[in-house]
Amino acid sequence: MKIAIYGYGNLGRGVEFAVKQNPDTELFGIFTRRPPENVKPAFAETKVFPAADITNYKNDIDVLIICGGSATDLPEMTPALAADFNVIDSFDTHADIPKHFVAVDEAAKKGDKVAVISVGWDPGMFSLNRLYANAILPEGKDYTFWGKGVSQGHSDAIRRIEGVLDARQYTIPVQSALDSVRAGENPDLTTREKHTRLCYVVASEEADKARIEREIKTMPKYFSDYDTTVNFISQEELDRDHKGIPHGGFVIRTGKTGKDNGSNHVIEYSLKLDSNPEFTASVLVAFARAAYRMSARGDSGCKTVFDIAPVDLSAKTREQVIAEML
Amino acid sequence: MKIAIYGYGNLGRGVEFAVKQNPDTELFGIFTRRPPENVKPAFAETKVFPAADITNYKNDIDVLIICGGSATDLPEMTPALAADFNVIDSFDTHADIPKHFVAVDEAAKKGDKVAVISVGWDPGMFSLNRLYANAILPEGKDYTFWGKGVSQGHSDAIRRIEGVLDARQYTIPVQSALDSVRAGENPDLTTREKHTRLCYVVASEEADKARIEREIKTMPKYFSDYDTTVNFISQEELDRDHKGIPHGGFVIRTGKTGKDNGSNHVIEYSLKLDSNPEFTASVLVAFARAAYRMSARGDSGCKTVFDIAPVDLSAKTREQVIAEML
């Protein structure tokens, strides 16, 4: 199965590594909107092509993994490319998924291709766990906690404040809230009760740190609804201690069954990831395999993680997974 | 969707409750090999039929949930019934699943029916999590821990010892082993290092407790490879403190990605269940829905949890799950 990467940032680089780990995938190359000579792949043998030429390679690529941003890239790229390629994206603006689905579905059906959208861990693996848990326990309550992990969006928001040179923001689940959920207490939790925000900020020498801290803590949507801690550190400290892009989180459903709903159950799925983009990339490659197989069977249109039988994600045969994993 | 229960013990009773919780399922009735008047359903309106008459109701039942034991019941019942009904079972003798699959597949294909075998939590939800995690992280290591929970098989084994009136055995994961796995240390764990066994035993007055304890602790396969604790208690204490059938466990995969495999990831799925049979029953009902839909689409043959697209498990429409859970 020949996989190509469209867009080469942290996520595309993660796909480049993930393709190497799988026995049945090989990398056709990277497509970039930048001048190809400006892109430095992780492996010397990886070919880089101009994005503008991609339709020349229609018959050489089995699945295209689109590694763009959800704000502006993917709403354009995925429908445009789904007419010519089997594609996967990690579109993660939850509220806009139904709209994205319709646009991609139309294109993929026109081109008789399979497109899988919103693949990753949330949306993605977390979504799957929400669905499985809801199907099993119809009477229950869902909780999703994120972190401890770096939020790129929140880090960027801090960097836009005057006097800030660099910043890194961690989203941290509140342990007592997690404990209460796991204990089956079914708490109603406010935004503030679920997560705290921890910021490491590099300020310019002349900047008013009190003002920066105030601007962060009162920023609507991003910080004002949370208990936020701001630590000022040096650029050296930020580079040394906060270079990684870890993330993770917890999907928990608690529910009741039996006589008088007397039995309590807790289903929990959690991820602890050293690298958010590398893990997301690994999920993308597994679903690329499914897209390839579904397309080979004559299927077409837009799919989500909900539509894909788990066996299609595995490099192993159906007989193998039944014998080894069931 | 009309569901029938075949076999009425703890599991069948769990199905009777679970069917009530779902908006799109109704219970046709219970089929039993006992005299029907000896079966006391949880709900007065539940009808009880003799198992021998079941083929008379071929056209009235959409899915039959077979609630028998894996040792002797299911290897006979499931292939026999799969020719006439869409069926689900919870066959859980892992090593014999491939053989069971072949027998059920042949029958179901002959009858143009869908059969889903080995549904529950292990095999079942734990299997699904092993498969998803392996597909995402090809380079990694799997761990399954069970407990804290009651093992019926081990409790039965103790009860067969001379002088034992009653017994309850708990399987308990070793916390330090769990911690090591979660920390990404990839330990190689022996049987003894993963689980301990805790036994509550009611002995007859004249019995030699030292002998009973020795017989338990040295019992091959069941206890000899474990650190086992034996507590003698009264029947009143057993009935008061150990009446429930709780269980649960953990499926963890740790893996590496990226440059020089430098990033570590931990995927963990866990269950904490007050009632093992009620939870298993709830999983069975969700997969009954999928069997019904697959059959309605013209599919047939034996399926496992790996073959079923998650969307088919939900009572909600595809549009709803995309909007609400993705």
Token pair in block for residue A283: 């999920």
- Nearest to B89, CA basis, from B111, B73, B110: B73
- Give chain B's mean pLDDT: 97
Please indicate if any CB of chain B lies within 8 Å of the CB of A42: yes
To which residue do tokens 């040792």 refer? B71
Tens digit of pLDDT for each residue in B81-122?
Answer: 999 999 999 999 999 999 999 999 999 999 999 999 999 999
Chain A: give the shortest CA distance to residue B226, in Å. 24
Band of residue A268 on the pLDDT scale cut at 50, 70, 90: very high
State the Cα–Cα distance between residues A269 and A253, nearest whole angstrom: 9
Question: For position B312, what pLDDT does the model report?
Answer: 98
Give the residue on A whose Cα is nearest the Cα of B322: A98
Tens digit of pLDDT for each residue in B47-75?
Answer: 999 999 999 999 999 999 999 999 999 99
For residue A110, the cross-strand partners are none
What is the sign, positive or negative, of the torsion defined by CA atoms of B161, B165, B171, B172?
negative
Residues listed for chain B: 326
Token pair in block for residue B61: 């039942």
- Residues of chain B positioned with their CB less than 8 A from the CB of A275: 257-258, 263, 265
Tens digit of pLDDT for each residue in B175-217?
Answer: 999 999 999 999 999 999 999 999 999 999 999 999 999 999 9
Tens digit of pLDDT for each residue in B298-310?
Answer: 999 999 999 999 9
DSSP-derived letter for residue A84 is T
- Residues of chain A positioned with their CB less than 8 A from the CB of B25: none
Q: How far is CA A246 from CA A14, A241, A278, A285, in A?
A: 13, 12, 10, 20
**Over residues A151-177, mean pLDDT:** 96
3-state secondary structure of B222: coil
Give the residue on B whose Cα is nearest the Cα of A265: B273
Question: For position B263, what pLDDT does the model report?
Answer: 97
**Over residues A221-245, mean pLDDT:** 97
Tens digit of pLDDT for each residue in A68-84?
Answer: 999 999 999 999 999 99
- Residues of chain B positioned with their CB less than 8 A from the CB of A258: 14, 17, 275, 278
Nearest Cβ partner of B258 from A17, A130, A265? A17
Nearest Cβ partner of A310 from B118, B306, B314? B306
In this structure, which long-range contacts are made by residues A173-181, counting pairs with CB atoms below 8 Å and at least 24 apart in sequence?
A173/A145, A173/A146, A173/A147, A173/A148, A173/A249, A173/A250, A177/A145, A178/A145, A178/A250, A178/A252, A181/A143, A181/A252, A181/A254
Give the residue on B whose Cα is nearest the Cα of A271: B267
**Over residues A202-219, mean pLDDT:** 97
Question: For position A298, what pLDDT does the model report?
Answer: 97
Question: For position A155, what pLDDT does the model report?
Answer: 95
Please indicate if any CB of chain A lies within 8 Å of the CB of B272: yes
**Is A134 in contact with B314 (Cβ distance < 8 A)?**
yes
Q: How far apart are the first and last CA of chain A?
A: 26
To which residue do tokens 């001048």 refer? A35
Question: For position A3, what pLDDT does the model report?
Answer: 98
Q: To 10 degrees, what angle do helices A276-296 and B125-136 make?
A: 100
**Over residues A186-212, mean pLDDT:** 97
**Is A131 in contact with B313 (Cβ distance < 8 A)?**
yes
**Is A325 in contact with B132 (Cβ distance < 8 A)?**
no
Question: For position B241, what pLDDT does the model report?
Answer: 97
To which residue do tokens 């299997």 refer? B127
For residue B4, the cross-strand partners are B29, B64
What is the sign, positive or negative, of the torsion defined by CA atoms of A305, A308, A309, A310?
negative
Question: For position B118, what pLDDT does the model report?
Answer: 98
Task: Quote the percentage of chain B above a pLDDT of 70.
Answer: 100
Chain B: give the shortest CA distance to residue A229, in Å. 27
Question: For position A233, what pLDDT does the model report?
Answer: 98
Q: How far is CA B211 from CA B206, B217, B218, in A?
A: 12, 10, 11
**Is B273 in contact with A265 (Cβ distance < 8 A)?**
yes
Which B positions 51-110 lie with beta carbon below 8 A of chain A? 94, 97-98, 101
- What are the residue ranges of helices labelled H in A44-201? 73-82, 97-111, 125-136, 152-159, 175-182, 191-194
| DSSP states along B252-273 | EEEEEESGGG-EEEEEEEEEEE
Question: For position A117, what pLDDT does the model report?
Answer: 98
Question: For position B180, what pLDDT does the model report?
Answer: 97
Token pair in block for residue A12: 């595309």
CA triple A137-A143-A148, angle to 5 deg: 140
Starting at the edge strand that comes first in sequence, how are the strands of the sheet with A164-173 ordered? A149-150, A164-173, A195-203, A227-232
Band of residue B235 on the pLDDT scale cut at 50, 70, 90: very high
Q: How far is CA A160 from CA A164, A166, A215, A237, B186, in A?
A: 7, 9, 11, 20, 41
Question: For position B297, what pLDDT does the model report?
Answer: 97
Tens digit of pLDDT for each residue in B256-308?
Answer: 999 999 999 999 999 999 999 999 999 999 999 999 999 999 999 999 999 99
